[in-house]
Amino acid sequence: MELIPAIDLIAGRTVRLTQGDYGQTKIYDSEPVDMARRYADCGVRRLHIVDLDGAKAKAPCNLRTLEKVVTATGLDVEWGGGIKDSVAMQQAIDAGASRVICGSVAVDNPELFAQWLQEYGASRIILGADVRDGRVATHGWLKDGGVGVEELVETFLPYNLSQLICTDISRDGMLQGPNLPLYEQLQQRFPTVDVTLSGGVSSMDDLERARECGVRAAIIGKAIYEGRITLKEIEKWLLNE
């Protein structure tokens, strides 16, 4: 199982939200590029970066930080936040994103998302599904997208969708453990799609249980910044893998 550390950005700084609430923003001292270097040094290959300013503005806002991270580390960066049209998609790729995460646009404009899967290839385009009670929420989790996560995935299977990041909104930033049955069910139902767990990881024990459930990748954010999971533990995991 691949471990993917997360960096959330506001004004070029590393932050974490609780359940996606901008009113519950905690700013960390770690400069994004320095943090990315530390991840690379312990063997991490892939980094999850969310442009929270971009998500709010509906257009990328921190692409310069993306460029700096990629130049400094060479990491495989999956980038999300504000990807609403083809201009934003190309900007993210030009800035160095290896993969681009698309959430609301996949619900609001499925034809465009399907086009991107075919134009850029399924290896570069990730479906981001933020889920509350099994239903996908959009627009900063404020709007019910009117579709279930499984139905959304099925929509794009004919276009060779191969990557899904599913965030359980109720667990995000809470450090109370992930909703493992959700991810186990999704991975079993969609074996051709690599399902990434997001939300709730609080310890290495959570990650061990996720691996036992067949989860292929997990995003770790707040647990690292709050000292629940150390870089040494991540390095040991990666060496054992």
Hey, which residues are catalytic here? 8, 130
Q: Which of 208, 135, 119, 213 is nearest to 170 (CA)?
A: 135
Q: Contact at 8 Å (CB) between 188 and 151?
A: no
Report the alpha-carbon distance of residue 24 to residue 20 in Å, rounded.
Answer: 8
Q: Which of 128, 144, 125 is nearest to 136 (CA)?
A: 144
| Token pair in block for residue 24 | 């519950």
Residue 214, SS3?
coil
Q: Which H or E run includes 49?
A: strand 46-51
Q: Contact at 8 Å (CB) between 124 and 93?
A: yes
Report the alpha-carbon distance of residue 8 to residue 142 in Å, rounded.
Answer: 19
- The DSSP output letter for 160 is T
Range 129-161 burial, b when 16+ CB lie within 10 A, else e: bbbeeebbbbebbeeebebebeebbebbeebeb
